[in-house]
Amino acid sequence: MKRYISFLLISVIILIMAQPVFAANEVLVRIITGPGGSYEGWITPSKPDALSALKTFASSKNLSVQTKDTTYGPYVISVAGLAEKKISASSGWGFWVNAQSPEVGADQTSINNGDEIVWSIYDYSSTLYPIVDFSPKQAVYQPGQIVTIHTSATKTMYDENWNASTSIVTIPDAMVSINQNDQSFIQLKTDATGSAQITIPTGAPLHVTVEKYDPSNGLPLLVKSRTLTLPIQFDGSKISDIKSTFWAYPCIIRNAARGWLPLKKNQTFAPNEPVSFAELTDAFSVLFKNAPISKWLATANYKSSFQTVTRQQMAVILNEVLTSTPTLNSKFPVLQPVNSNWRDQKSISSTALTAVQAIANRAIINGYADRTYHPNQAITRAEFVHVLRMIDDVQQ
């Protein structure tokens, strides 16, 4: 299939940080249908191509996909009930792989482990794919720091002889959405230079997306960006409830520098308080880049993001992380025999026992000195940052 020849072709500069290599050809798929209409998730496609990724993910979400056969191969005409040309005569379905618009059809576009495949309703003559930059660019940010979010795109035009000319265009009036720990949400618009400024607050990492739609019909003028995370550090020396003799003190200081878990009120860390799934998600989004975090967490069978994470749930999640990330798994060899005689072993779920033993085998989450495991006890903030530091150490 040859895609509709557009007057605009988009190339995007993406800064890719070091990331794990995933097993089983896991890819991130995003489907964008318009304002407020987007779906996202990690899947293992039936075949390693962009069309199969779309169909596999859409099926998992009970979304319809319609194609028609052409001399160039299958062509997507409708996704989630939204057909081409329904919104405008020049609207249709386009796709991007790792922010690039392929020159061949979706069934001929190969994909690899960890790739991002975006399918979006778009206008082939005007929709752009965003370049989102932060200034200053840092691994972690400080409360009170002013950060500029800049949005642009590379626009390629062709003349009647198909000679190309490219230029960087800024994107004014783009909507910048900023979420913090599912508890606060603000929206900004980019100015004439394509920029918007924020002052970094205290607390959990910020999650940023950028998008822009035609106000007359809802067609994306800018494909919705993937979620970008800004970690926020804090001054570990000012923590009021932790002494340097505390067993997890080095882990808590590392956490302060990395911005995994924020402080509680009154500059306290509260080491014995539980960790919620929302906090776990935030911490993982900082620790792992371009990773199937939602898929990892789904193995714990939790109901709410505000639910606390138990020790056995944490073991199940970590076991999934290691199983699906061979390079990381190799950094955690078996260090000790599994203690299969915990006094409360009958309290461990039968579906979690193998994971609990595997993680204990690697000395990541152990039992207690009294030969108990307490599988249904919430993992504490101190225990959690200890695990995060172990992973951070081997990813250095």
* 237-281 pLDDT tens trace: 889 999 999 999 999 999 999 999 999 878 899 999 999 999 999
Q: What is the DSSP-derived secondary structure letter of residue 344?
A: T
Strands 164-170 and 91-97: unpaired
The number of beta carbons lying within 10 Å of the beta carbon of residue 180 is 19
Query: Using only C-alpha atoms, what is the Rg of the chain?
Result: 23
| Structural fold of domain 9-230 | Ferric Hydroxamate Uptake Protein; Chain A, domain 1 (2.170.130)
Per-residue pLDDT at 349 exceeds 80? yes
Overall average pLDDT of the 184-199 stretch: 93
The number of beta carbons lying within 10 Å of the beta carbon of residue 188 is 17
Would you state the pLDDT for residue 75? 94
Round to whole Å and give the CA distance between 382 and 351.
Answer: 26
Per-residue pLDDT at 10 exceeds 70? no
Round to whole Å and give the CA distance between 62 and 200.
Answer: 38
The residue behind tokens 């994909």 is: 111
172 close to 190: Cβ distance less than 8 angstroms: yes
Q: What pTM did the predictor assign? A: 0.82
Q: Where are the domains of the chain?
A: 9-230, 236-395
Per-residue pLDDT at 63 exceeds 90? yes
- pLDDT-derived band at 339 (thresholds 50, 70, 90) equals low
In this predicted model, which residue has the larger pLDDT, 252 or 7?
Answer: 252
Would you state the pLDDT for residue 341? 79
- pLDDT-derived band at 56 (thresholds 50, 70, 90) equals very high
Q: What phi, psi does 166 have (nearest 5°)? A: -120, 155
Q: What 3-state class would DSSP assign to 133? A: strand
- pLDDT-derived band at 87 (thresholds 50, 70, 90) equals very high
Write the CA distances from 385 to 104, 201, 239, integer angstroms.
45, 21, 15
Per-residue pLDDT at 182 exceeds 90? no
Would you state the pLDDT for residue 338? 64
Average model confidence (pLDDT) across the chain: 89
CA angle centred on 384, ends 204 and 365, rounded to 5°: 160
Per-residue pLDDT at 8 exceeds 70? no
Q: What 3-state class would DSSP assign to 272? A: coil
